[in-house]
Chains A and B, each alone.
Chain A
Amino acid sequence: MTSREDTMPGLWQGFMAVIRRDLLLAWKRPGDILNPLFFFAMVCTLFPLAVGPSSEQLSISGPGIVWVAALLATLLSLNSLFLSDFEDGSLDQLILSPQPLPLLALGKTVAHWLSAGLPLVLVSPLVAVTFQMPGRTVGVMMLTLTFGTISLSLLGAIGAALTVGLHRGTALLSLLILPLAMPVLIFGARTVALAAANDAVSAGIYFLSAYCILALTLAPFATAAALKISNE
């Protein structure tokens, strides 16, 4: 017979198990990964159609458009973050499990970023090319989007945890998260615009990385608290 300590998975194992499970689920339903990407591409198409095909104008507003589209696409994917777990009761299992809930919430968030944020970052150069973005700017854009989407996943997880199980949760989630996400948008989009104008970009990148680290340390605790409240 093995003792309880032997059979109980460690912190790292629990964390990895949550990530693996969520990625596997996402892999089995590729629509969940692809829909936000299509949404991102379509929002980026809407802007040139709305403001006209002038390439100077589009190269000025390109960074802003890509960033707004990325923000909206992330929000779209966030709604389902805890929904299926809430409906099938696995959220209870997560809360009752011996692993600390903030760690498991972080695992869910990491899985969300890997399945929603990372593909967005990888696809963004395709969109950037259509806005006549030069090579260096594309690099800066991908860097800001990387930090930005991590921050948005972490921030959005709090909102998703607060609104899980509520009717009309999607609209509410956007209402809660958009004002909080504005600093990320400001620094992300303005830094890309500065890069396009050949200005110094380090300030924005430092800010985004600092914000990302702050969110990594604090957000999982807020998400865990919100999950416990929502699942009462």
Chain B
Amino acid sequence: MWKFLHKLASPPHFYDLSAKIIPWFVVPGTILIIYGTIAGLFYAPPDYQQGDAFRIIYVHVPAAYLSMLAYTLMAVSAGIGLIWRIKLSHAVAAAAAPLGAWFTFLALITGSIWGRPMWGTWWEWGDPRLTSELIMLFLYFGYMALRAAIDDTTKADKASAVLALVGAVNIPIIHFSVEWWSSLHQGATIVRADGPAMPTEMLFPLLAMILGFSLVFGALLLGRVRSEVLFRERRSRWVKNVVLASGEQG
């Protein structure tokens, strides 16, 4: 088991293996998203309160879910990299941040579009989830800015790992404080059609979308880690062989 993990964490092996794995993420992920989109847009019944506007849930919830998942992944792999000094996990953390930021941005935009017909405004400060997402986006920006400011890769890895861990400790506190803050504000009552009471024709497309987007996210992450690994190991022999073997197609 340990031997297997050790082999997996070695950059050349990861580089070969990930090329074989990526299609196994992309193909089922795309199929699930296509199914979820068609079923969610045309076959799921309209919500009894929100009508057809609830269908935004099929892109908003996966994006919000991935924004959290990416941060968790980033903090965990940064921590592993810091403690056990595994280079590959620093590369994973570096690759997860921009993807997480994109999905956070997507969750904010779709949440705002959803809010327009529901609240009558593009932005409602009373909604704790949107506000937390916004702070999340700032956390991603801070992480990426720190990485970009440090030239030395090893130093950037370690410094940004400390920041990611401090952020991970703070995220539950931020969520809690934003909930408390919006609960003081009695004006806005937000109706949302999530929860276990959802009928299955609505729920299955949502689950398909969450799973599909997670698979696509996994493929994108692996793709980014591959370039990251190549760049970091650019002086090593195996990278030279990989580049030379690729011939003209690279």
Contact = CB atoms under 8 A, between A and B. Distances in A.
A129 interface: no
Contact of B173 (A172, A183, A203): A183
B113 interface: no
A178 B158 contact: no
Contacts of A39: none
Secondary structure at the B interface, as helix, strand, loop or mixed, is helix
B145 A175 contact: yes
Interface string B36-55: 00000000000000000000
15 contacts: A162-B159, A166-B149, A167-B149, A168-B149, A175-B141, A176-B145, A176-B163, A179-B135, A182-B177, A183-B173, A186-B177, A194-B184, A225-B162, A229-B158, A229-B159
A190 B165 CA distance: 27
Given A158-B162, A222-B162, A229-B158, A186 B181 contact: yes
Interface residues on B, range: 20 to 34
A226 B82 CA distance: 12
A204 to B, nearest CB: 8
A166 B162 contact: no
Contacts of A186: 177-178, 180-181
Interface string A149-190: 000000000100011001110001001101110110011001
B174 A183 contact: yes
Given A162-B163, A166-B149, A179 B177 contact: no
B17 interface: no
B142 interface: yes
B24 interface: no
Interface string A132-162: 0000000000000000000000000010001
Across the A-B interface, give the 9 residue pairs with the lowest CB-CB distance, nearest first. Answer: A183-B177, A179-B138, A176-B142, A229-B158, A186-B177, A186-B181, A175-B142, A183-B173, A179-B139
Interface string B155-192: 10011001101110110011011101100100000000
Interface in B118-143: 135, 138-139, 141-142
Given A180-B167, A183-B174, A190 B181 contact: yes
B162 A229 contact: yes
B162 A163 contact: no
Nearest to B141: A175
A178 B137 CA distance: 12
Interface of B: 135, 138-139, 141-142, 145-146, 149-150, 155, 158-159, 162-163, 165-167, 169-170, 173-174, 176-178, 180-181, 184
Contact of A180 (B150, B166, B181): B166
B170 A180 contact: yes
Contacts of A166: 149-150
Interface in A196-232: 203, 207, 211, 218, 222, 225-226, 229-230, 232
A191 to B, nearest CB: 10
Given A167-B149, A232-B155, A222 B173 contact: no
Contacts of B174: 179-180, 182-183
A183 B145 CA distance: 22
A14 B141 CA distance: 37
Contact of B146 (A163, A179, A190, A207): A163
B184 A190 contact: yes
Contacts of A178: 138
A230 B145 contact: no
A179 B132 CA distance: 10
A207 B169 CA distance: 15
Contacts of B163: 158, 162, 176
B162 A226 contact: yes
